[in-house]
Structure 1
Amino acid sequence: MPSASAVKTASLSLCFSVGAVLFSSHAGGGFATGNQANVYFISLGWLGPITAIITMLLLTLTIKEAMNMYNSRHLTSYKQLFMNLYSPFKAVEVLFEVFFYIMVLMAVSAAISGAASALADQLAINYYIGVVLVGAVVFALTIFGANLVRKATTYMGIGILVTSILIFTIGIFMTGDVVGTTTVTAAMENDFMANGFAKLPQAILYAVTYAGFQCVVIPTMIVVGTPLVTRKNCATSMWFSFAMNAVALTLSVCMLLGWTGVYGKSPLPTLTSCQAMGMPWLTVVYSICLLLCLVSTGVTTVFGFTARFSEVQPLKKISRSSVVRSAMVTFFIILLSMTVSLAGLTNIIKYGYGYCGYLAIAIIIVPFLTVGWYKNKRYATDAAYKGRIDQMNAQPESSEEYAPVTETMKETI
């Protein structure tokens, strides 16, 4: 029997591990390439870093409610999750299905495209060969189940967090010393003097949109988060994730604010900025970090799709092996994503992510943070009430003190 402290340590370790999955899934397109950060936050000027923090808060609170609803009711698929969320309305969960299929293609395509671009830039590997290599790695890591995904993304997440903070911190301190850059404080002050709060409505829209399309990882998060059996576990896990995501994304935005004159329209703003710093070792470290980020994004996104379709009856008739079924589904979605990746990283993020983000505001973010929050709170209250009734009725009936609870007595509990 493990000690109380051992159980507590294991629980915190598991919460961190699940939180790291969300961090790793966001890392690739989110801040490692700098592309998403550039499209959604840099244009906001001084509001960019603040919006990044609010965005990550919205995302983690939404996924906390999703995991809590999934685990407390012992659901078995994301379809059941959204049926519970939208109840009593019927068939609304189809909207999430549409969002999810499109976003899986967009997210995995962006990850593969970004990683292939990095390989082409750093190792002079042909872009199309890079697409195939990255697709093969994502395939191998996806087909062996939730435990491997959780472990792989935890280690990748730690490496990503450390190296990204190192790179962004150095980049921030070097602004103003490299031709074409300006200090972060000067960039923010200049924007505030020029625009004030004029960009606030746009910042709110971007925050909710960005959090919305990141919700593509909900199917993966509810599967890897199944061991988080209590509301407190789900909350702890997401606070870990919020801290990691908010720190990394905010540092990325702050650094890029000072380097906009250097990277211009590059599809990999962070890599271009890193190369301009004149530190070859830092570029190597960043390239490794970038590949880890993009692979982890691809793995966590594909896994949610694979978990959904590998258990359908037609595939079970083909093979009894869950690994074989997972391999078939994973191969299909990666092959399709590799085709879409030929459209280019910037176009995928600007158009594919943007429109899916608008849809997610209405069908995911707002419902989970309002109706979902209320339903989870009510469900927990009802469960606690039922638990007290069952406990009192389980006492020996021979004692008047422990007589079964009557309907009249229930009303006073």
Structure 2
Amino acid sequence: MDIADGRIREGIRKDETEWYRGRIQRLSSLSNNLQRDERRFRFSPCPSKEETIMVNMSSMKTASLSMCFSVGAVLFSSHAGGGFATGNQENVYFVSLGWLGPITAIITMLLFTLTIKEAMNMYNSRHLTSYRQLFQNLYRPFTGIEYFFEAFFYIMVLMAVSATISGAASAINAQTGLNYYAGIGVVGIIIFFLTIFGAGLVRRATTYMGMAILAMVVAIFSVGIYSAGSVEGTQAFTAVMAQDFAVNGFSNVPTAILHAFTYAGFQCVVIPTMIVVGTPLVTRKNCATSMWFSFAMNAAALTLAVVMLLGWSGYYGKSPLPTLTSCQAMGSPWLTIVYSAFLMLCLISTGVTTVFGFTARFSEINILKKISSRSVIRAAIVTAFIIIASMTVSIAGLTNIIKYGYGYCGYAAIAIIIVPFLTIGRYKNKRYANDMEYRARIDSMNENPQAAQAFKPTAEAAGH
């Protein structure tokens, strides 16, 4: 690692430290003990085991649960994005499956959170400093495969932000009559300013958005489920599921499996953000606890959405905004207002967290440092680039972005992310925790990348 790379990583690490500190403070119920313990919690560029939190058992339990819940909430707010909030993703990947839709939604979130758990555990246990290092450790002894994730990440950033902008512009147009293209500009500006001012604003935005989104999901979709059947063209979701089972039986099971892996796959674009946010989770148990919190939130929200939309699918038809179309027919103006707020929170949440990962990756490169020594200006340049590109793609429309952009990226992610982390990654994490010799060899390779590149597979290292 050269001096420039070292400085870049050190700069990013300092920014990350502020993210963690603020998140712990906001989600710890302002306990005096926890605040005292948090001041003792520090990260160095290469933290050792001795630098982890050293507190009494009662305080550790409180701090650990607070951090776990905080990280899980960030993953939830990242998932609750444009396609989810509009109902478009649920309609394409789950409602189309009929009675299998709600079951597939739960399985999908299990796949997703288990994958993130293994990624965070590998990143934290080995004290890695970038997502490229993470994928190098996952794929080793084979080299170069990590660039496939780079390509996936950049394309998905473009698709995710494009869906955010397109969905928001469509919603604004439906509610206010504002021109679609003007709406694209408004949302782009909001995401731009929330992103360029760094981890502090992103932290405050995503923390409160996650909690608000969960509360709104329960309210909106519960009312929708209750009122299904009272509007012409709608039915109780149980009737829809029974009818679909009578017609299709188990014939859609293969498609359901593919949709589960595909949906979980394209959601893995949040891995760079999650490994940064999840650094305080210093043990495998912490990672697991955090992801069970996130699984509960994500599965509940997604299943509620699918169940409601099943009952209303005959009403909204091919609308690109199924949930908004359904809300407008429920006869409750207040519900439409709440949903509009919910939609914007979801869209901004995804836009900010996704663009932030991209900006953190490129705002510290040497070329931009030559242009400006101010981090805010460099972040503004990178953020403007990705937002302008996303605004261009958003012209294609939300449904096409989700169906084709997300879909093909999801197929690729099955091979390069989901399956590797749930098989090889899990094996490597368990072996790293239990095999001292293996751990020493891995640590040596991470400290000396040149030696790792020269490493050749042998019979002894076949499970590496």
Does TM-score exceed 0.5, indicating one fold?
yes
Alignment equivalent of 1:353, drawn from 403, 406, 409: 406
Shift of 1:145: 3.0
Q: 1:147·1:224 contact (CA, 8 Å) conserved in 2?
A: no
* Gapped regions of structure 1 (runs ≥ 5): 388-413
Shift of 1:384: 11
Name the residue aligned to 2:140.
87
1:58 maps to 2:106: no
Matching of residues 184-223 of structure 1 within 5 Å: 184-223=237-276
Q: Which amino acid aligns with 1:88?
A: P
* Comparing 308-317 and 71-80, the one that deviates more: 308-317
Alignment equivalent of 1:126, drawn from 165, 179, 188: 179
Q: 2:82·2:343 contact (CA, 8 Å) conserved in 1?
A: no
Q: Distance in 1 between matches of 2:276 and 2:427?
A: 23
Name the residue aligned to 2:220.
167
Q: Distance in 1 between matches of 2:238 and 2:400?
A: 30
Name the residue aligned to 2:292.
239
The superposition leaves residues 176-226 of structure 1 with CA deviations (integer Å, 9 ceiling, x where unpaired) of: 111110111100011111111110000000000000000011111111222
Alignment equivalent of 2:69, drawn from 4, 11, 16: 16
Alignment equivalent of 1:5, drawn from 58, 75, 89: 58
Shift of 1:6: 3.9
Q: Distance in 1 between matches of 2:321 and 2:412?
A: 27
Shift of 1:358: 0.4
Alignment equivalent of 2:374, drawn from 308, 311, 321: 321
Matching of residues 295-314 of structure 1 within 5 Å: 295-314=348-367
SS of structure 1 residue aligned to 2:364: coil
1:340 maps to 2:382: no
Q: 2:77·2:206 contact (CA, 8 Å) conserved in 1?
A: yes
RMSD: 1.7
Q: Which amino acid aligns with 1:372?
A: G
Q: Number of aligned residue pairs: give it.
A: 387
The superposition leaves residues 92-118 of structure 1 with CA deviations (integer Å, 9 ceiling, x where unpaired) of: 111111111111111100011101111
Q: 1:228 to 1:144 in 2, by over 3 A?
A: farther
Q: 1:30 to 1:14 in 2, by over 3 A?
A: farther
Q: Distance in 2 between matches of 1:278 and 1:222?
A: 43
* Gapped regions of structure 2 (runs ≥ 5): 1-35, 38-55, 441-464
Report the TM-score when normalising by structure 1.
0.90
Q: 1:109·1:338 contact (CA, 8 Å) conserved in 2?
A: yes
The superposition leaves residues 126-180 of structure 1 with CA deviations (integer Å, 9 ceiling, x where unpaired) of: 2112111111111122223334323321210110110111110110011111111
1:227 maps to 2:252: no
> Greater relative contact order: 1 or 2 (C-alpha under 8 angstroms, separation 6 or more)?
1
Name the residue aligned to 2:19.
none
Q: Distance in 1 between matches of 2:243 and 2:439?
A: 59
The superposition leaves residues 264-308 of structure 1 with CA deviations (integer Å, 9 ceiling, x where unpaired) of: 111110000000101000000000000000110111111111121
Q: 1:191 to 1:112 in 2, by over 3 A?
A: same
Name the residue aligned to 1:376.
429
Q: 1:47 to 1:305 in 2, by over 3 A?
A: same
Name the residue aligned to 1:155.
208
Q: Which amino acid aligns with 2:266?
A: F
Report the TM-score when normalising by structure 2.
0.81
SS of structure 2 residue aligned to 1:45: helix
Name the residue aligned to 2:308.
255
Q: 1:18·1:150 contact (CA, 8 Å) conserved in 2?
A: no
Identical-residue share of aligned pairs (%): 75
Name the residue aligned to 2:50.
none
Q: 1:201 to 1:120 in 2, by over 3 A?
A: same
Q: Which amino acid aligns with 1:240?
A: F
Shift of 1:30: 4.6
* Comparing 60-69 and 315-324, the one that deviates more: 315-324
Shift of 1:31: 2.6
SS of structure 2 residue aligned to 1:378: helix
Shift of 1:383: 5.3
Q: 2:224·2:327 contact (CA, 8 Å) conserved in 1?
A: yes
Q: 2:83·2:163 contact (CA, 8 Å) conserved in 1?
A: no
